[in-house]
Amino acid sequence: MADSTVFTGQSGGYYRPQAGIVSKIRLENFMCHSNLEIELGDRVNFITGQNGSGKSAILTALCVAFGCRAKGTQRAATMQDFIKTGCSYALVHVEMKNHGDDAFKPETYGDTIVIERRITSSTSSTILKNHQGKKIAHRRDDLIELVEHFNIDVENPCVIMSQDKSREFLHSGNDKDKFKFFFRATLLYQVSDLLGSIEKELSGANELVDKLEKSISPILKELNELQGKIKSMERVEEISQQVQLLKKKLAWSWVYDVDKQLQEQNARIEKLKERIPACQARIDRQLSSMPLLEESAEESEMEQKLKELQDEVDKASLTIQRLKEEEDALSESLTIAKDEIKKIACEIDDNEKKDRELRSYIRDLQLHQSNKVTAFGGVRVTNLLQVIERHHHRFRRPPIGPIGAHVNLIHDDKWALAIENAIGKLLNAFIVTDHKDSLLLRSCAREANYNYLQIIIYDFARPRLNIPNHMLPQTNHPTTISVIHSDNPTVVNVLIDVGSAERQVLVRDYDVGKTVAFDQRVSNLKEVYTLEGYKMFSRGSAQTILPPNKNVRTGRLCSSYDDQIKNFEREALNTHEQCQRNRGKKRIVEEEFRDLDEKLKSVKRRRFQVERNLRSREFALQDVKKSYVAEASPAPASTVDELQQEISKAQDEIKEKDILLEKFRVRLNEAETKANDLKLSFENLCESAKAEIDAFEKAERELMLIEEDLHSAEAEKNHYEGVMNTKVIADIKGAESQYQELEHSRKESYKKASIICPESEIDALGGCAGSTPEQLSAQLSRLNQRLQHESQRYPEPIDDLRMLYEKKERKILRKQQTYKAFREKLSACQKALELRRSKFQRNATLLKRQLTWQFNGHLRKKGISGHIKVCYEAETLSVEVKMPQDSSSSTVRDTRGLSGGERSFSTLCFALALHEMTEAPFRAMDEFDVFMDAVSRKISLDTIVDFALAQGSQWIFITPHDISMVKQDERIKKQQMAAPRS
């Protein structure tokens, strides 16, 4: 049976129709209505009726018709839930007027637009019809275009304030909820959301351009490699040209080099021939003037010189050996010092690491001291608790955690470290009552960036566990559960059921722990923990001892962190001082290392100097020996021809002279002995024959002068004889032979060079001056090797490489220009976004001021003044009013201190102020006047009717109360819903 509608009020007169207002609503099988049709006036409409008569379904139908989703209505989870029980479909039919300048596509739809949304068990569809009922559109985009044209945001509470939104808005004291209402009503939410989405899209676009720019990096790399190949190939061409040029220069350089050698050899031959007469003349002169003396004096002088040089060589060898030993000792000392520096550096690193760890422990303990909760998860757990607080109404039972925040040590803090090792992993965990709350808590943890949160599901309704004594460890030592306390029975139960805290025994030291864990065979024992942190347990026949965890240095359940902070500070100070001492020690050792290194370098320099001196002495010794052998040979012939003939004979006599030399040495030793004896006799006779001695000394000096002259003449004679034999004559013959060879070589080189290129070409290229054939040959060899190496690296032709390079360069240039254009457009978009955001912030500030002015304007109708504080950063909005009875006081109090009627009226004034700031062709409010006293309700109704009439748009008010007190006006239409059937 169709529902009936009773009409009250008056209507009449003529109003100019306005585009976008609702003229008719028809519902079929929608919620509680089988068939309902309501015609609405152009201005103010009141719909009243008893609870359950389906008043609120009208506003829900409007929301559904204009595209709102099921959850957005707060009345159902899915669209199928709106179908009346027992029916197969539901239909919402809304007719809108489409007159005037603001009409939507009047040439298509005409004066009336019909919106029909049909809902079935499997789907829902929306159809737009014209004034003749003809189907015009059916896509959701068409509906969105219509909604945006008339600015009908049904989710905006200032357009349609549903029953739930009305209760939430009028009676909520939450400043954040009021801010959300204001933010959405003024369309700031849409603008902010749009700016945020644009900023996100710009960020995504920038990331995309970054990826595109990075994507061309391999091509740029390939382009650079191609350019490198081309340059290398160009160098190969240059090298090839240089090789050809060097081949030509090398061929003629051999000719020019032989010419140069021929000139030098010819000059040398002439010079050697000029020396023959002079050498012979000097030899003859020395032979005529040199007296005959005993040969044993010359031999004695030569042997003395040999002995002196040999002594110097031996002394230098001993010095080198000593310096090598000193060098080895210094090297060993340097190695020891280097190892010690490395060891000290490692100690410094360890101390610095320990100091950082101690400072970190101190900061954590100081943080725990100010907020104990941070000891069980750090800053993450405080963030998680804040998120849980925001979503507390969604939990079936509020989560308990972290567990450590609900646990205290009963006695002293000595067991804190042992307790930490026993149940430390559970202290960060949270407890929930069921799986659904576990999933919700996990989502809260993700929101708080708290990963890997341990969540324990446990029935909160279970009473505190009471464990009989026969199920506890039979020992006099305390257990974990016996030294801790918690006021929450669920926490205690979890520590027992999950952590086995009643079967964990605590002992004072390692030896006692081994006895209890392995020797006493204590029943009901699971694990043993010591004060130092050792963990001991048996599993069957296996006995296990785990060392203390190095990362656990403190107990988080300590009643006070002061002592631990002081201990760590002392330890950190000692570590810092030790680190400073090590740095000083390291500096000393490094200075010693540098000194040793300088000494080692000095010793090496001295050794090198002595070795050079030794080599020079050895060479001198060899020269003296050779000279001694040469001088022991027989005298040369008087003439050059005879000298050449006697060379071979002199070589045969060398051996005989060596034998004579040995005899002379024996005679020399005998002579030295006799000389010593004579010297002794001479010393004895000195006193008796001083005059004779003076004469003898004079004669001796004369004799020494004669001997010196004799030695000088003999040495000069031998020198010129040697020059004549070994230098002049032999050099002349060798030079003449060499000259002939050079002439032959020049002819061959000239013939080969002429085949390679004419000499005129080399002259045109600058000749070969300044370069020898050896230099040119070495340079040519190097260039050939380089040419071969480069040719093997790049087998491709250089022209192909250049074409490929130009092709890739054009391609990459196009992409770079495209990406540059993208960047410029993104930059322009970013500037535009920043400009719009600044305008948004300026408009938000102006809207905040406008809201306060209009709010006061409505409050003054009841003699009330007020103020609205909006904080965009904290997203809060607070309403403060001053009642007339508070005129003697300057204080302004929150609306929560008002009566229900006063609070509802002030909130209604707040809503009307928001209405003045929004634009829509129609507005609807459900149960806006609940919880008001009679006076406040009368003032509120008058205020809202006057406001609606003055505003000019269409208004729909739904209330369960009597509306007879609403004034009569031809622009006001009153309708009453039929009573619900029992």
What is 96-136 written as a DSSP string? EE--STT-SSHHHHTTEEEEEEEEESS-EEEEEE-TT--EE
CA distance 185 to 165: 12
Residue type at position 259: D
Tokens at 19, concatenated: 């585009």
Nearest of 505, 524, 500 to residue 516 by alpha carbon: 505
731-750 confidence digits (pLDDT tens): 677 777 777 777 777 777 77
The whole-model pTM stands at 0.40
What is 24-76 written as a DSSP string? EEEEEEETTEEEEEEE--SSEEEEE--TTSSHHHHHHHHHHHTT--TGGGTS-
Distance from first CA to last CA of the chain, Å, rounded? 14
Q: If pLDDT is split at 50, 70 and 90, which confidence band does 316 have?
A: confident
User: What letter would DSSP give residue 464?
Assistant: P
259-269 confidence digits (pLDDT tens): 777 777 777 77
Q: If pLDDT is split at 50, 70 and 90, which confidence band does 909 have?
A: confident
Residues 6 or more apart whose Cβ sits within 8 Å of residue 33: 3, 27, 54, 57, 84
Nearest of 168, 134, 156 to residue 921 by alpha carbon: 156
Determine which helix (DSSP H) or strand (DSSP E) holds 455, and give its type and residue range: strand 455-457
User: Quick one: CA torsion of 217, 221, 224, 228, rounded to 10 degrees?
Assistant: 180
CA distance 126 to 124: 7
Residues 6 or more apart whose Cβ sits within 8 Å of residue 361: 553, 554, 568
Tokens at 222, concatenated: 């390939």
Strand order in the sheet with 922-926: 5-9, 972-977, 44-48, 954-959, 922-926, 160-161
Rg (CA), the chain: 59
CA distance 536 to 516: 9
Give the pLDDT confidence score for residue 14 in this predicted structure: 41
98-150 confidence digits (pLDDT tens): 988 889 999 999 999 999 999 998 888 999 999 888 999 989 889 989 988 88
Question: To which residue do tokens 């260039």 refer?
Answer: 783
Using the predicted structure, report yes or no on whether residue 291 has a pLDDT greater than 70: no
Give the pLDDT confidence score for residue 601 in this predicted structure: 81
CA distance 260 to 256: 6
Q: For 498-561, where are the alpha helices, taking DSSP H only? A: 510-514
Considering 86-95, 180-189, 259-268, the range whose residues carry the highest mean pLDDT is 86-95
CA distance 501 to 509: 19
Nearest-5° Cα angle at 550, 546 to 555: 95
Q: How large is the average pLDDT for residues 928-957? A: 76
Q: If pLDDT is split at 50, 70 and 90, which confidence band does 490 have?
A: very high
Give the pLDDT confidence score for residue 402 in this predicted structure: 93
**Chain mean pLDDT for the chain:** 77
Considering 240-249, 340-349, 926-935, the range whose residues carry the highest mean pLDDT is 340-349
Say if residues 444 and 387 touch (Cβ distance below 8 Å): yes
CA distance 507 to 515: 10
Q: How large is the average pLDDT for residues 601-608? A: 79
Under the phi-then-psi rule, with left for phi > 0, alpha for psi from -120 to 50, and beta for the rest, what region is 548? beta
What is 389-402 written as a DSSP string? HHTGGG-SS--B--
Residues 6 or more apart whose Cβ sits within 8 Å of residue 438: 432, 455, 457
3-state class of 463 per DSSP?
A: coil
% of the chain at pLDDT higher than 90: 14
Give the pLDDT confidence score for residue 443 in this predicted structure: 94
Crossing angle of helices 900-916 and 934-951, rounded to 10°? 10
3-state class of 457 per DSSP?
A: strand
In sequence order, the β-bridge partners of residue 97 are 112
Using the predicted structure, report yes or no on whether residue 753 has a pLDDT greater than 80: no
Determine which helix (DSSP H) or strand (DSSP E) holds 148, and give its type and residue range: helix 140-150
Give the pLDDT confidence score for residue 932 in this predicted structure: 66
Say if residues 771 and 260 touch (Cβ distance below 8 Å): no
Lowest mean pLDDT among 534-548, 674-688, 902-916: 674-688
Using the predicted structure, report yes or no on whether residue 252 has a pLDDT greater than 90: no
Lowest mean pLDDT among 9-13, 364-368, 372-376, 453-457: 9-13
Give the pLDDT confidence score for residue 787 in this predicted structure: 67
Using the predicted structure, report yes or no on whether residue 664 has a pLDDT greater than 60: no
CA distance 817 to 810: 11
Q: Who wins on pLDDT, 550 or 366?
A: 550
3-state class of 138 per DSSP?
A: coil
Using the predicted structure, report yes or no on whether residue 187 has a pLDDT greater than 60: yes
CA distance 499 to 115: 63
Q: Who wins on pLDDT, 175 or 676?
A: 175
623 burial via Cβ count (<10 Å: 0-12, 13-18, 19+): exposed
Using the predicted structure, report yes or no on whether residue 891 has a pLDDT greater than 50: no
Q: If pLDDT is split at 50, 70 and 90, which confidence band does 765 have?
A: low
Lowest mean pLDDT among 533-537, 790-794, 841-845: 790-794
Tokens at 785, concatenated: 């090797």
% of the chain at pLDDT higher than 70: 74
Q: If pLDDT is split at 50, 70 and 90, which confidence band does 431 have?
A: very high
Q: Who wins on pLDDT, 471 or 727?
A: 471
